[in-house]
Amino acid sequence: MEPERRRGAGPGPGPGGCERRLLWAASLLCVLLDLQLPGLLAAGQAEIENHLEMGRKLLAAGQLAEALSHYHSAVEIDPKNYLTYYKRATIYLAMGKFRAALPDLTKAIELKPDFLAARLQRGNILLKQGSTQEAKQDFEAVLQSNPGNEEARTQLTRVTELTMAMKEAQVAYQRQDYHGTISILERAIEISPWDPEAKELRSECYLLIGDYNKAIMDLKPTTKLRNDNRAAFLKLSKLYYNLGEHEESLNQVRECLKLDQDDKDCFSHYKQVKKLAKQLESAEEHVRAQRYEDAIEKYKAAMKTEPNVETYTTKAKGRICHCLSKSKQPREAIDICTEAHQRDPRNIFILRDRAEAYILNEEFERAVEDYQEAKEFDGENEEIKEGLERAQKLLKQSKKRDYYKILGIRRNANKQEIIKAYRKLAQQWHPDNFQSEEEKKEAEKKFIDIAAAKEVLTDPEMRQKFDSGEDPLDPENQQGGAGHPHHWPFEFNPFGSGNFHFKFHFN
C-alpha cells in the first residue's frame, strides 16, 4: 500500500487543500505582476502621452471633435490623472460646451485640490452662469493660495457687482419700472451671459412694454441654458403665434413636445397651431392653383379657428382681397380690400389688389391713387411701378374710346359675351335701319365703333394691349402714325371679320 500522505506536504486533496492551492496561485500571480507591472505602466503612460499629443495637434488645427475623442481615450486609460480632465475641459470650452466642461474641472480639482488654474476656470464658468456663491468660493480659494492673482481679484469684484445688479433689477421690476429693470440687467447679462434667470427677467420686461421681438431674442437662448425648459418653448411658441408667425410657433411647441410628449399645455397649444397652419397652407395651395373660391373658404375657416388674434384676421382679409381681385369680382374685392387696408394701411399688396379691382370696375382714377400710395411705401417695387403706369394709361384711354363701354360689357367678359353684345348692337345700329341722312350718319359712327370694339376685344393680342392702356387702333400708338394693319378710322373695315352681311354705303 502507498504510504499515507503527510498533512501539509503539498497541495493534496485533503482538508484545506483548495485554500492552499488558491494561495499558491495568487502568490505566483503577484510575482508575475511584480515582474510585468513596470512594463504595463510604461506602456499605458506612453499611450496616454500619445493621445494627449494627438489631441494637442488636432486642437491647434481646429479639429475639435477629433481632438476630443483622443482626450476621451486618455481619461479612460487613466481616470486618476487630473491633467487629462483639465485638458478635456478646455476642448469642451473651445466647442462652447461649458456645461460639459464643469464636471471635468470639478474632477480635476478633486484629484488635485491645489490646482489653481482649474479653480479659476471653473469660477469663471460659474460666474457666467450666474452662480455667484460657488464662483466666489473658487476665486477666494485661488486668492488664499496666491494673494497676488489679479484675475481672481477682478472676478471677485464682478461677483459682488452681479449680486448687487440682480437685487436692484428685482426691486425695479417689483416697482413696475420695466425700462429701468432692462437698463440694470444689461450690465448683469454682460457679466453672466449664460444666466437664464437674467435673460428671462429681461424678456418679461420687453414683453410688458410691447417689444415682442426683443422678448423673443432674450427668451430663445434660455431654452439651451436650462436642461428642460418646456415653459420657455411654450412661451416662445405663443409669442410667435401672436405675431402671426404660425410656422415658427409650430417649430417651438414641437421642441416642447420632444422633451415631454405628454405635456398637456404644449399639446393643447400644438393642436390649435397645427389646425390653423393646415388651413392657411391649404388656402395658399388653392391660390397657387388659381382656385380662388376654395382659397376664400379656407381663409374664412382660419378666421373662425383663431378669432382672437387680430394678425390672422388681418392677413386672411388681405388674402381674400387678393382672391376676389383675381376672380374678377371687383365690387366685393373693393369692399374687402378697403377693410383690409384699414387694418394694414402700409401693405402695398392690398393696395395693389384694390387698384386692380378698381380697374375691373373702371374706376381708373382710384386705381391710380392706390398705386401711387403703394409706390410711396416701396418705390423700388417693379410690379407696383408697372401697375401705376398701366393704370395711368387706362385713365388716359378712358377719356377717349372705351371698347368695353361701347359694347356695354364688363372688362372680364369672355369671347362669347363679346360677340353676343356685338351682334345685338350691330343689328340695332346698322345704318340701313334709319331713314334720314342725319340718323344714318350717327348710326354709321356708332356702328363703326361697335365693330372696332368687337375687332379689338376678340383678338387676344389687341385686347391685351387695350387692357394695358394702349388702343391698338389709335394711330398715335403706331410708329410714325402708321405701323398697324388697322389705321383707325380711315382703313378700318367694320365688316371684314363679322358674321353679318349688310348692305352698307358710306356717303
What's 235-253 look like in SS3? HHHHHHHHCCCHHHHHHHH
End-to-end CA distance of the chain: 163
Task: Catalogue the long-range contacts made by 293-297 (C-beta closer than 8 Å, 24 or more residues apart).
Answer: 293/323, 293/327, 295/319, 295/323, 296/320, 296/323, 296/324
Helices (H), 410-497: 415-429, 437-457, 460-467
Q: Please state the pTM of the whole predicted model.
A: 0.67
> What was the pLDDT predicted at 29?
43
What is the structure's pLDDT at 475? 72
C-alpha cell of residue 484? 398697324
Give the residues of the chain that fall short of pLDDT 50. Answer: 1-15, 22, 24-26, 28-41, 480-507
Tens digit of pLDDT for each residue in 424-449? Answer: 998 888 888 888 888 888 888 888 98
Q: What distance in Å separates the CA atoms of residue 67 and residue 54, rounded to the nearest whole number? A: 7
Q: Give the model's pLDDT for residue 402.
A: 83
What are the CA-CA distances from residue 401 to residues 115, 488, 489 (Å)?
A: 95, 12, 12
Report how far residue 423's alpha carbon sits from residue 444's, in angstroms, rounded to the nearest whole number: 15
**Predicted local distance difference test score (pLDDT) of residue 35:** 43
What count of other Cβ atoms lies within 10 Å of the Cβ of residue 214?
16
Q: What is the pLDDT of residue 251?
A: 96
Query: Which residues touch 320 (CB under 8 Å, ≥6 apart)?
Result: 296, 299, 300, 336, 340
- What's the pLDDT score for residue 19? 56
Give the burial class of 446: count Cβ atoms within 10 A of its Cβ; 0-12 exposed, 13-18 middle, 19 or more buried: middle
Vertex 240, ends 201 and 198: CA angle to 5°?
A: 15
pLDDT tens figures, 369-392: 999 999 999 999 999 999 999 999
Q: Which residues contact 157 (CB under 8 A, 6 or more apart)?
A: none
For 169, the grid coordinates are: 433689477
348: which 3 cell numbers?
A: 402695398
Report d(CA 378, CA 181) in Å as an integer. 38
Closest listed residue to residue 367, CA positions, set 352, 386, 347, 385: 352
Side-chain-facing half-sphere of 325: CA atoms under 13 Å: 23
For the chain, list the domains and their CATH numbers.
Answer: 228-293 (1.25.40), 309-399 (1.25.40.10), 403-507 (1.10.287.110)
> So what's the pLDDT on residue 496?
42
pLDDT at 499: 40
Tell me the DSSP string of 382-400: HHHHHHHHHHHHHHHHHTS
Q: What pLDDT, on a 0 to 100 scale, did the predictor assign at position 506? A: 35
Residue whose grid cell is 492673482: 149
Predicted pLDDT at 472 = 86
